[in-house]
Structure 1
Amino acid sequence: MGPGSFPWLLHHDLRLGWRDFRSGFGRLGARPLLGLVALLLAVMHAAVWGLADEVGALADAPATRGEAEALVLPAAGFVLLLMLAGTLNGATKLLYARGDLDLLLSSPASARRVLGARALAVALGALASAAVFVLPVADDAALLGHPRLLALYPALAGGALLAAGAGLATTLALFGLLGPRRTRLAAQVLATFVGAGFFLALQARRLMPGLLPAEAPADGTWLRAAVGLPVRAALGDGGALAAWLALSAAAFAAAALALGPGFARSAVAAAGAGNARRPAPRRSRSSARLFVGGPLPALRLKEWRLIARDPWVVSQVLLQILYMTPLIALMWTGDGDPALGIAPMIVVVTFQVSSSLTWLGLSGEDAPDLLASAPVPASALRRGKLQAVGALALGLVALPLAYLLSVSASAAAVAAVLALLGLAAAVALQSWHGAPRRRSSFAARHRESKLMGLVEMVMSVLFGLGTALAVLPTAWALAPLALAGGLVAWMRPRRGSAA
């Protein structure tokens, strides 16, 4: 591999991608990390053993191949959404994260070669993220005597190329519409919600049972030709696989080569976006009048404004609510009691959102020295921040709580009481153990304290289970709630220890 060649550039990009992946695991060495990946793959192979046998048997018989296609159709959509989310993030990093694209484009290396290597690295990253979930099915099916499912390997590679082309084109379109400063946040938010679509699609049959077909569309329809192409390719149809790979390669080549000049211009614009001068904010008279009533109203307004003008934080908070939709579907079927799904959602969302916002207010402050030098007692500053957190968290669940009140007053009372307890627990845990970081590190706030991430997950499960049992009602509700209280007490710092 000569310096500046396509393989050399691709190897460089893949090495940087591996370094970024390793950084998410802190100080874990390469060998333990590879062991963890191997363990994950072993677990996935064991988990999909039965599914691989079922799909392989259906795909082998021409009479039942339609059932196999209907089974694989939603899975194909899930995987494409997952890879699209990954390529959107990857395309955003091309322009912003490393800050070296404009430097590489000014080097003697061919611009098409540089952009092609970067684009292929994005596609390979998306392929790796989906391979963990998909390829164990192909391996198990081959071991069980269904080798036609080995077509999943090239079909998945084609999906990664198509997703990479779509991600690059979408990022450039956002760049043209929104400009360099706003595109980064817009692409990150879009990728996050596309990833949420992948998660929610896993529950689609339960959420929308009437909208998903029991079998694949009939032969000859345009829907089967358009939507069923990747499905038939994955199930070993040679003609469909060839067409799928040709379509994916063409889309990727168009994005990587035809959009190359646009990416070059965008890279230069993105490099200079951080140096652009921002207009000085205007001081409004209404903001000045807030200090007449004391510092707390101004502090609450400051916290709300910081959250409202950060689309990335807003998207993460909204995702926590969006991820509760499958919880409602799991606990409330069409003929069941809606309170059984809505009440736990209210409590769990209140706890999770309160925990996130409390971290932002107490541990994610970007100007702690400035606030510490303010002529306001520290207790008043803390109280103002917590008031802002509590008002916002409870405001987010006000409408679901009002609807629940119209359905069942007793369930609404249970949800309201437990939501307040969840708010108090979240505030206490973050006050004791929140790891200080900059607000921009919101998504990675648990890297410093893996224990807090685990505790939050366990507390969410206990609060959700306790709320559901309390709505039934049954005395067993006291068990998970008591465990949650015991966990909070156990997390409380001991006297003489650092909080």
Structure 2
Amino acid sequence: MISALVRMLPPGSAAWLLAAEVRLGLRGMAGKRGVSGSKIALVIISLFAVAGVVFGGVALGFLAARWPLPITPLSALIVDAACVVLFTLMLSQAINLAVQALYERGDLDLLLSSPLRPRVVLTVRALSITVVASILYVLLVTPFVITASVLGRPEWLSLFVILISLSMVATAVGILMTMGLFALIGPRKTRVVAQVIAALVGGLMFILSQAYNFTRHEDGHGSSGVSDLALSLTGSPLLAPNGPLAWPVRALTASPMPLAVIGGIGLILFVLVVRGLGPRFAKDAAAAVGEKSTPARTKGADGAFADGLTRAMVRKELRLLARDPQLISQILLRIVYLIPLGVILFKNAHAGTTPIFLSSAIVFMAGQLAGSFAWIAISAEDSPDLLRSAPIDRALADRAKLIAALIPTFALTGVAVAGYAVMSPLQAIVVVIGCVCAAASSGLIQIWRQKPATRKAFNQRQRGGSWLVNIVELVVQACWGAATALALSVFGLLWAPIPAAVALLATLALYRSPEKRWES
């Protein structure tokens, strides 16, 4: 539909450029095109998800039509918390989109040489970030809002205004942060730091969502610290119906003044950032384009092969891993998402099954990390053709890539294993063995089946290879986790070799010789 809109609009106009930018942003969220088994499965799952959202939204719309939204301190607190969560998620996405749209797409030199002014280019890109950051939430609430409005509650249409305003504020803050980082630390480090900040912001919301589980009593009785805090906050005059923190819930009821203020804040902040940063944006864009054409200075390049080819290749692969901001953000997100699980399990460490469950989670995480690192090492070569034609032993090159993938994997999982050793020192030895097996299997699967590609193709962040291979990799990781858990249980020790054998056989079944892989 957006492609048809692009064809209808006058080429080169601001509206045409905005539609094209939104299409690029949505395409980046959806991934690359192509029909495959995994794509078909994803479409089927998406259809079921859309059906669930539609039916759920319609059902909630009927309920909202029957019972109006009350303006109470509790409802004000809930709406305020929801706005904070949504804004944080939008900000995380806006930072990523701002880095990509402003400095990574590689077309700013072409746009800035066009008749469009830099301020118009920045405005269009900022609007596209706003649309892409908010479109998911707008689509999720649309069935509910339409149903409630048709059934006599048109005030729920103000929810669209609130979402768009939150997205505008998130876009403005994201652009400010991105351009501020650019001015302070330069374009190279900005990409890394911005990706890390976005990951931490998104992960922080996930941790806060688990605050109830952190603060509840271990026996399950009584109230948690979060519920006690919420009850104490409802007595604050700020959440009273006429208080300032009640304006969001009043805006949801289409109260004119709160709705106008909330919508105006987003619009004014967005306009101020876009108009104020227009000239700065043109300078930063030119600097980013010039920086891309200038190779980074290398330190200590002389004598790189003095310690041997393997060490030199391992160092090269580790540098390659360290300079990938999206990989760093993804790894940080995985670690952040495991923090609530670790806290809950450590709180219940006295339970008999908790150490066993935690051991399988650590082993599975080791496999996931090794697979990701090996994928980067294989798929992000700057010159895969040069490496393919180099007079080196193929097995040696593969071994160097595997070692480079395992070093950060063991460094990260070592922290989790050290925490596990505090609970069960002897069982931690079994966990270490499971981590080594899972990491080695995942790394070998990626090396045997992943095809080297140029860094431009790698930046699409899509794993190549068969979707069946990716599923087998997940099964192998799960089998090693199950084998570790069974080895730690009293009655499962005799059954532990079964999932271990399945994982080992599945890994070996995917083996391809170096000659066959490098020729394909």
TM bracket (short chain): 0.7 to 0.9
- The answer to whether 1:430 aligns with 2:446 is yes
- The answer to whether 1:116 aligns with 2:132 is no
Once structures 1 and 2 are overlaid, which stretch shifts more, 170-179 or 72-81? 72-81
The 8 Å contact of residues 169 and 266 in structure 2, kept in 1 or not, is answered as yes
RMSD: 4.1
- The answer to whether 1:249 aligns with 2:249 is no
| Residue 186 of structure 1, CA deviation | 3.0
Identity of aligned residues (%): 30
- The answer to whether 1:170 aligns with 2:188 is no
Equivalent residue number for residue 446 of structure 1: 463
C-alpha distance in structure 2 between counterparts of 1:207 and 1:52, whole Å: 33
The normalised TM-score by structure 2 is 0.78
Equivalent residue number for residue 401 of structure 1: 417
What are the residue-to-residue correspondences of 1:56-71 with 2, within 5 Å?
60-62=69-71, 65-71=72-78
Once structures 1 and 2 are overlaid, which stretch shifts more, 164-173 or 439-448? 439-448
Distance 1:434 1:484, change over 3 A: farther
Determine helix, strand or coil for the equivalent of 2:237. Answer: coil
Distance 1:46 1:281, change over 3 A: same
- The answer to whether 1:298 aligns with 2:312 is yes
| Residue 157 of structure 1, CA deviation | 1.2
The 8 Å contact of residues 145 and 157 in structure 2, kept in 1 or not, is answered as yes
Determine helix, strand or coil for the equivalent of 1:427. Answer: helix
> 1:244-282: per-residue Cα shift (whole Å, max 9, x none)?
111111111111222222212222222222223543543
C-alpha distance in structure 2 between counterparts of 1:330 and 1:345, whole Å: 13
The normalised TM-score by structure 1 is 0.80
Equivalent residue number for residue 431 of structure 2: 415
Aligned letter for 2:406?
Answer: G
Equivalent residue number for residue 282 of structure 1: 300
| Residue 359 of structure 1, CA deviation | 2.4
Which of 237, 240, 251 does residue 220 from structure 1 map onto? 237
C-alpha distance in structure 2 between counterparts of 1:316 and 1:327, whole Å: 18
Which of 258, 269, 274 does residue 287 from structure 2 map onto? 269
The 8 Å contact of residues 324 and 349 in structure 1, kept in 2 or not, is answered as no
C-alpha distance in structure 2 between counterparts of 1:341 and 1:74, whole Å: 32
C-alpha distance in structure 1 between counterparts of 2:270 and 2:99, whole Å: 17
The 8 Å contact of residues 320 and 352 in structure 1, kept in 2 or not, is answered as no
| Residue 84 of structure 1, CA deviation | 1.3
Aligned letter for 2:317?
Answer: E
Distance 1:304 1:255, change over 3 A: same
Once structures 1 and 2 are overlaid, which stretch shifts more, 229-238 or 96-105? 229-238
| Residue 144 of structure 1, CA deviation | 8.8
C-alpha distance in structure 2 between counterparts of 1:489 and 1:143, whole Å: 59
C-alpha distance in structure 2 between counterparts of 1:269 and 1:130, whole Å: 35
Determine helix, strand or coil for the equivalent of 1:221. Answer: helix
- The answer to whether 1:259 aligns with 2:283 is no
Aligned letter for 1:221?
Answer: L
C-alpha distance in structure 2 between counterparts of 1:139 and 1:315, whole Å: 37
Equivalent residue number for residue 107 of structure 2: 100
Once structures 1 and 2 are overlaid, which stretch shifts more, 425-434 or 243-252? 425-434
C-alpha distance in structure 2 between counterparts of 1:455 and 1:226, whole Å: 54
Give ranges in structure 2 of 5+ residues lacking alignment: 1-8, 217-224
> 1:324-379: per-residue Cα shift (whole Å, max 9, x none)?
22433565555755635642342122111111222233454444455556665333
The 8 Å contact of residues 78 and 201 in structure 1, kept in 2 or not, is answered as no
Give ranges in structure 1 of 5+ residues lacking alignment: none
Aligned letter for 2:285?
Answer: A
| Residue 124 of structure 1, CA deviation | 0.6
The 8 Å contact of residues 102 and 271 in structure 1, kept in 2 or not, is answered as yes
| Residue 435 of structure 1, CA deviation | 3.4
C-alpha distance in structure 2 between counterparts of 1:241 and 1:457, whole Å: 48
> 1:232-251: per-residue Cα shift (whole Å, max 9, x none)?
54465554332211111111
Once structures 1 and 2 are overlaid, which stretch shifts more, 435-444 or 143-152? 143-152
